[in-house]
Amino acid sequence: RKTYRIAVIPGDGIGKETVPEGLRVLDAAARRFGFDLSLTDYDWSCDTYAKTGKMMPDDGLDRLRDSDSIFLGAVGWPGVPDHVSLWGLLIPIRRGFDQYVNLRPCKLMPGARTPLADRGPADIDFYVVRENTEGEYSSVGGRMFEGTEREFVSQQSILTRHGTDRVLRYAFDLAMTRPRRKVTSATKSNGITFTMPYWDERFAEMAKRYPQVTTDQFHIDILCAHFVQHPDWFDVVVGSNLFGDILSDLGPAVAGSIGIAPSANINPEKAFPSMFEPVHGSAPDIAGKWICNPIGQIWSGAMMLEHLGEKAAADAIVRAIEAHLAEGGPRTRDMGGNAGTVDVGKALAEAV
């Protein structure tokens, strides 16, 4: 019987409400599919910051290092600036553990409501693969002539061959596991003329190694338009840190799943633990009321199990979510019902 060590970080706001429901469903899956989860809780959050001046202890990454995966709720709270909360917890984990792939399914679930007219589940089912460690989110930049009329700021965007090739490879490998075998590249080489042409070059190189994969590429402006007009065109979409960030919010929005979408921050080589978190944030407006929707967290749990090698258990959770949405199980307010967070978690644990 296998045991997986999971580091659990509920974080801020509704993360404290969704994570227990995520764990409830994971626990049900573990019992049914015959494996164990050994959980270690970490209370790192903006609360911790208020008490200690740090989002996580100095040896935070070391404490997480031996876990098989990290299960995260949400990070961020009003009053604590993002460069403190996110750059003190979320970003250091992504980078420190070289989680260079950020993966998000964009899938119109049966029974979910897309804002698009005349679109059904068969039309929207793709993945966004985002580079998660370099690119536009760089640490190189600064300000000159501060406080004067000549003031300016500058920030570099950096693409390395190492960083670019490995995320492209992941996207092509993922496409090979899917029936359509198609990869779309997000670029902007007509406007951003140093970094993006390089991205195109590496994409073309990588495509040569995967002759069975169909490819195309669009500039990010028209690609965003196509997400709205032709979501059925896409299978696997790969983009830089910023472009992937944009597309992996727009994709779930188009699929009507932004409140329930999961995401995975993956180190594919498993040299470090990977991290799984819902796309939604800490939602200060509804936190503390136990009315938030835990499906994003639960779905993130399914992605975690898949990464750990428990594919059957992962599929069972995703099927339970699909059935739940299609058959009208208890719904939280955001989905037009009045069930509580716990009701949904219990129903899904039951179904698994």
Ligand X SMILES: CC(C)[C@H](C(=O)O)[C@@H](O)C(=O)O
Q: Which residues of this chain interact with its own copies, rule CB under 8 A? A: 82-83, 86-87, 114-118, 136-137, 139-143, 148-162, 188-195, 197-198, 220-222, 224-226, 228-229, 241-242, 245-246, 248-250, 252-254, 258
Positions in 69-128 near ligand X (CB under 6 A): 86
Q: Which does 48 bind (CB under 5 to 8 A by kind): ligand X, its own copies, none?
A: none
Give me 17's structure tokens.
């409400």
Other C-beta atoms lying within 10 Å of the C-beta of residue 113: 13
CB of 251 to its own copies, least distance (A): 9
Residues whose CB falls within 8 Å of the CB of residue 149, separated by 6 or more in sequence, listed in order:
none
Q: Which does 52 bind (CB under 5 to 8 A by kind): its own copies, ligand X, none?
A: none
Measured from the CB of residue 105, what is the shortest distance to its own copies in angstroms? 16
Alpha-carbon distance 238 to 198, whole Å? 14
In the chain, the amino acid numbered 347 is A
Determine the Cα angle at 16 with ends 91 and 347, to 5°.
120
| 246 interacts with, out of ligand X, its own copies, none, CB within 5 to 8 A per kind | its own copies
Least distance between its own copies and beta carbon 150 (Å): 7
Beta strand 125-131 with 236-239 is parallel
> Strand 69-74's sheet: what is its strand order?
35-41, 2-11, 69-74, 274-278, 262-266, 101-107, 125-131, 236-239, 182-187, 214-219
Q: Which residue is nearest to ligand X (CB)?
A: 191
The DSSP 8-state label assigned to residue 168 in this structure reads H
245 binds ligand X (CB under 6 A): yes
Q: How far apart are CA 139 and CA 91, in angstroms?
A: 12
In whole angstroms, the minimum distance from the beta carbon of 84 to its own copies comes to 11
Q: Does 155 bind ligand X (CB under 6 A)?
A: no
CB 91 to ligand X: min, Å: 6
Interface residue with ligand X, options 221, 232, 327, 350 (CB under 6 A): 221
Q: Which of residues 20-59 bind ligand X (CB under 6 A)?
A: none
Cβ-based neighbours of 136, under 8 Å, separated by 6 or more? 155, 157, 240, 241, 242
Residue 151 neighbours by CB distance under 10 Å: 10
Residue 78 interacts with, from ligand X, its own copies, none (CB under 5-8 Å by kind): none
Q: Which is nearer to its own copies, 136 or 310 (CB)?
A: 136
Of 248 and 310, the one with the shorter C-beta distance to ligand X is: 248
Please tell me what DSSP assigns to residue 135: B
Q: Closest by alpha carbon to 278, among 3, 54, 9?
A: 9
Task: Give the tokens for residue 131.
Answer: 């580079």
Task: Choose from its own copies, ligand X, none: what does 153 bind? Cβ within 5-8 Å by kind.
Answer: its own copies
Instruction: Give the one residue of 34, 110, 191, 288 binding ligand X; rule: CB under 6 A.
Output: 191
Query: Residue 73 CB, nearest distance to ligand X (Å)?
Result: 13
- Smallest gap from residue 131 Cβ to ligand X (A): 11
Check residue 190 for interaction with ligand X (CB under 6 A): yes
Q: Which is nearer to ligand X, 189 or 323 (CB)?
A: 189
Residues 6+ apart with CB under 8 A from 256: 108, 112, 113, 114, 115, 116
- Contacts with ligand X by CB under 6 A lie at 86, 190-191, 221, 245
